[in-house]
Structure 1
Amino acid sequence: MNPVIDRLKVIFVGIFLVINIGLAVWEFGWEIPRENCEKAHKWWDNAQRVCGTPILVSDVTGRVIDNAQARADAFRAVGRTPPASLGVAAAAPPKAPAPAAAKSH
């Protein structure tokens, strides 16, 4: 067989393997951890590949949100279950209103 064809075959197979190894490293090193972090309702920092836990400002400052519904919404926004003492833990977040039908003149 022609040695040029053999050489090109090895080069293309080598390039193919390098690309596949790069994609596997990207998938298992960046994409899968990011997806797992976002499924857990946490914050993914792509630059440092760190999964951070969001916290409420009221947890840091010690100030309590007075409105029970607003406090429950804040808990849901950071992926935490509102405490049962709020009385709104079972309530689902409000749905967005349906867009009004366009009137034809």
Structure 2
Amino acid sequence: MKESKILAITKTRERDGPKGTVYYITLQLENGEYITLGKTKSDAFKVGDLVKYEKIGENKRKEIKPAFSRGGGITNRQIAAIGAAILTAGGKSDFKTSADTILSWLES
């Protein structure tokens, strides 16, 4: 895997396909390489962005996309409260007991 900063956007080609328009954007990188990546938005890159990519063939490059390491901002307490609400709504737990337990836990 390589990583470099975009120095310039040198060319953009568009191609219409069955899933919509794909923009092939050629980037000049700080490490001296020129790479072309396909995106669904014409303004997907801007000068100064950091790009992670890997070589997948003689002349092909593939952008490395970040893994989803965050749960969208939901905390463990929120997950526990949601889980308790689902159990209570399904009749598998007593509402009063669940509410008291969650409240004391949230206040701690």
Q: Which TM-score bucket, shorter chain as reference? A: under 0.3
Give the TM-score taking structure 1 as reference length.
Answer: 0.25
Whose relative contact order is higher, 1 or 2, with alpha carbons under 8 Å and at least 6 apart?
A: 2
Could you say which structure has the higher strand fraction?
Answer: 2
Could you say which structure has the higher helix fraction?
Answer: 1
